[in-house]
Amino acid sequence: MAGFTFSPHPVTCDGVSPAALAAAEGTPLYVYSAALIVDRYRALDAALGAYPHRVHYALKANSTLGIVRLLQSAGSAVDANSGGEVAVARRAGVDPRDIVFTGVGKTAAELEEAVCIGVGAINAESAGEVDRIDRIATARGVRARVAVRINPGIEADSHPGIVTGGPEHKFGVPIEDAGAVCRDAAGRPGLALVGVHAHVGSQLTSLDAVARTASTMARFAQDLRDAGVALEHVDLGGGLGISYDGSPALAVAEYARTLVEAVAPTGLTLLVEPGRWIVGPAGALVATVVDVKPQRDGRYFVVLDAGMSELLRPALYGARHRLERLNERSGPTVTCDVVGPICETTDVIRLGQSMPLPEVGDLLLVRDAGAYGSAMASNYNRRALPAEALVEGGAWRMIRRRQTVEDLLACES
Ligand SMILES: Cc1ncc(COP(=O)(O)O)c(C=O)c1O
């Protein structure tokens, strides 16, 4: 596949030097491989084979317009989680029918818009939301396409902050109540119940929860059909994990086979909502060392110009991303706590990194930062959102310019 090459040095992204890119555009800077994003989308699509299916890229992983456009032109549909993501999808040229609209707390305005444009499915979170969608659609004299998001009560093996399918989690309708909610939805004049939906967590690295969710949902859908409810699809959400440390991850072929085998007996179209797996390995964050501080125990703080405002995952989940040096440095290997510049102790990029001591001005590259990186970036400490570059066909172009102070203050008086 295309993408980043880390050895031999120097690091490249599809033939382009991230160091040269940083020299031209400054840091912090996200760099993405267009070819790898498209390759990964196609690999997942191909793994699902001839069985009727649709890949709805989960915008929450990375909704920068240039990336959404890229995936849209490769043929992907989308999963949107807010009115903002629906708007980005439409700006990128996504047909409303190719949007599934998920979200725990959809506002009245978001539901109005989704009904009005006619999204492919609104993944309804509750009996109350089913009722609200029905009222909106009835008032407009249309039938809204809905799927019911079901919480199957399956605890996936992942970080506690990103598992969503257990009984204690806020997502969806508990499976014990879901039959009644679906039958109610199917009988409403303003609704067409087109599917059932589940998403039990992100960064799943074993097949167990995937297989149990797929078979539970297929059985549930079949029971509904046996009860006379005509469905079109089973949406099994996203979640396929990637390797952040280089160890083998769940293979896409095995993941796809598990889903297809479970859903095939129903004959229903299989929908998936992958985010991280498609864009995670295709993006990296380039940052500059702005300070090097010895610690009393022989370690060093290496302070970057990027931190939790550019890449929140280490602070939020204790995530560990691999780092690459873009400058060759010889000298003894020392232990570095690579941290950000923000006034929070949790503002780390990677603790305990062994490497030759960098110098101020050196560049470091944070690997596998394409998902939940720029999408979670914030203006905390009044920091400008980072710039983003897309490498395509041996050249690069900016898909997001760095924010300015004027941008930061644009909404304030
Ligand atoms: C409903 C839903 N679908 C899809 C995804 C994408 O998950 P991932 O990026 O792990 O594939 C998420 C992320 O948590 C989600 O909440």
Q: Which of 85, 170, 161 is nearest to 125 (CA)?
A: 170
- What is residue 168's predicted lDDT score, i.e. its pLDDT? 79
Ligand 1 centroid distance, CA of 41 (Å): 15
Q: Give the pLDDT mean for 143-156.
A: 92
Enumerate residues 6+ apart whose C-beta is below 8 A from 84: none
Instruction: Please state the atom number of ligand 1 nearest to the C-alpha of residue 372.
Output: 9
Give the rounded percent of residues in the chain with a pLDDT score beyond 70: 100
- Which of 89-103, 165-179, 191-205 is the least confident region? 165-179
Contact 209, 201 (CB under 8 A): yes
Task: Taking each helix axis as running N to C, give the angle between helix 83-91 and helix 65-74, from 0 to 180 degrees, rounded to the nearest 10.
Answer: 60
Give the rounded percent of residues in the chain with a pLDDT score beyond 90: 92
Q: Give the pLDDT mean for 404-413.
A: 97
What average pLDDT does the chain have?
96
Question: pLDDT per residue over 272-313, tens digit each?
Answer: 999 999 999 999 999 999 999 999 999 999 999 999 999 999
- Residue 79: CA atoms inside 13 Å, Cβ hemisphere, count? 26
User: What token pair was written down for 277?
Assistant: 């797996």
Task: Pick from 37, 79, 197 the residue to mutate for probing ligand 1's pocket: most ligand atoms within 8 Å of its CB.
Answer: 79
Q: Which of 287, 271, 349 is nearest to 97 (CA)?
A: 271
**182 an active-site residue?**
no
Instruction: Please state the atom number of ligand 1 nearest to the C-alpha of residue 204.
Output: 10
Q: What are phi and psi of 64, to 5 degrees?
A: -60, 130
184 pLDDT above the threshold of 80: yes
Question: pLDDT per residue over 318-331, tens digit each?
Answer: 999 999 999 988 89
Distance CA 30, CA 39 (A): 19
Contact 358, 325 (CB under 8 A): yes
Contact 115, 142 (CB under 8 A): yes
pLDDT class for 55, splitting at 50, 70, 90?
very high
Contact 202 CB / ligand 1 (< 6 Å) = yes
- What is residue 244's predicted lDDT score, i.e. its pLDDT? 97
Map tokens 């969608």 to a residue: 133
163 pLDDT above the threshold of 90: no
Instruction: Please state the atom number of ligand 1 nearest to the C-alpha of residue 273.
Output: 4
- What is residue 170's predicted lDDT score, i.e. its pLDDT? 80
Radius of gyration for the alpha carbons in the chain, expressed in angstroms and rounded: 22
Which domains can be identified in the chain, with CATH numbers? 4-31+280-409 (2.40.37.10), 34-279 (3.20.20.10)
Q: Residue 77: in which H helix or E strand, if any?
A: strand 77-80
Ligand 1 centroid distance, CA of 201 (Å): 7
Contact 280 CB / ligand 1 (< 6 Å) = no
Q: Before 332, cis peptide (omega within 30)?
A: no
The string over 179-192, giving b where at least 16 C-beta atoms fall within 10 Å of a residue's C-beta and e elsewhere, is bebbebbbebebbb
Contact 399, 389 (CB under 8 A): yes
Distance CA 108, CA 311 (A): 32
Task: Pick from 37, 102, 164, 199 the residue to mutate for probing ligand 1's pocket: most ligand atoms within 8 Å of its CB.
Answer: 199
- What is residue 162's predicted lDDT score, i.e. its pLDDT? 77
- What is residue 328's predicted lDDT score, i.e. its pLDDT? 86
- What is residue 92's predicted lDDT score, i.e. its pLDDT? 98
Identify the sign of the CA torsion 81, 235, 231, 268. Answer: positive
Question: pLDDT per residue over 62-118, tens digit each?
Answer: 999 999 999 999 999 999 999 999 999 999 999 999 999 999 999 999 999 999 999
